[in-house]
Amino acid sequence: MAERVYPADSPPESGQFSGNFSSGEFPRKPAPPPSTYVIQVPKDQIYRIPPPENAHRLQYLSRKKPNRSRCRCCICSFIALVFALIVLAGLSLAVLYLIYRPEAPKYYVEGFAVSGINLNSTSPISPRFNVTVRSRNGNGKIGVYYYGKGSSVDVYYKDVDLCNGVLPEFYQAEKNVTVVKLGLSGSKIQLTSGMRKEMRKEVSNKTLPFRLKIKAPVKIKVGSVKTWTMIVKVNCDLTVDKLTAPSRIVSRKCSHDFDLW
């Protein structure tokens, strides 16, 4: 209980103290001025009871801390859920891979006939190419759908696009070899005099290089399920002996790549 001290009737004058310094006694605290009060509060109440002006802040902080804790718990739960889904997806893909053992189809150029290129004239050329491509699907449980819409087939000499076309739409079943014949043509292609001279030299050596580029949207069929649309890209470097049909392929090398998204 607080102890109240009433004002003294006659406070001591300034500079006067009662007590004996020589005997080790310290002077008593001076009395407060008239009409003032001294309130003594126990030490434990000072730390336990906040001042009135800070009571609302204490109440606000007391309510805020649990909210922060709940937010942290929600974030941690969400991160744990995402991590668990990623792990499950990885395990599912691993199981599917072990079951189906997927492998990419292999592509091979069987025929490449060239016509319509006159190197003795400076007029624009209108080349024609008859290209035969063989696709082999070695998967035992996976089929491939090829879509003509969005596909492209181009033949290049150096960096010049000589002709273009599209793939037919077809389905390649499991353990299947499909042969696709393509008729490609270009119109009003202007070759430089230096390029014509170089091509004549390559024809005399029977080593005329071309590059075949194929881009095709595909969907993979696994059982009764189709995947999303992916893009297969095939690049073939070819060397033929002449620019008239029938031409013979001297060398060929094909590579392919898949864009999953």
pLDDT digits (tens, 9 = 90+) for 9-38: 445 554 454 455 455 555 566 666 666 666
Q: Distance (Å, rounded) from C-alpha 50 to C-alpha 53?
A: 8
Chain Cα centroid distance, residue 239: 38
Can you list the residues of the chain whose pLDDT is less than 70? Answer: 1-69, 96-100
pLDDT at 6: 47
Residues in contact with 192: Cβ distance below 8 Å, sequence separation at least 6, in sequence order: none
Closest CA to 239 of 229, 222, 253, 258: 253
Rounded to an integer, what distance in angstroms lies between the CA atom of residue 229 and that of residue 144? Answer: 11
Which residue in 240, 226, 233, 235 sits closest to 258, CA to CA?
Answer: 233
Share of the chain above pLDDT 70, in %: 72
> Which amino acid, one-letter code, is at 112?
F
Cβ 145 vs Cβ 202: under 8 Å: no
Q: How far is CA 242 from CA 96, 185, 208, in A?
A: 48, 17, 7
Residue 224: predicted pLDDT? 85
Would you call 189 exposed, middle or buried from its count of C-beta atoms within 10 A (0-12, 13-18, 19+)? middle
Helices (H), 101-208: 193-204
Q: Tell me: cis bond preceding 246? Omega within 30 of 0 counts.
A: yes
* Residue showing tokens 């392929």: 249
Pairwise CA distance, residues 233 & 214, whole Å: 6
The residues, any chain, with a CB within 8 Å of residue 211's CB and separated by 6 or more, are: 155, 156, 157, 235, 236, 237, 238
pLDDT at position 261 is: 78
Residue with tokens 């079943």: 173
The pLDDT assigned to 113 comes to: 92
Read off the tokens for 173: 């079943």
Question: Is domain 106-259 in CATH 2.60.40, yes or no?
Answer: yes
Which of 128, 197, 100, 185 is CA-nearest to residue 158?
197
Nearest-CA neighbor of 220 among 97, 79, 91? 97
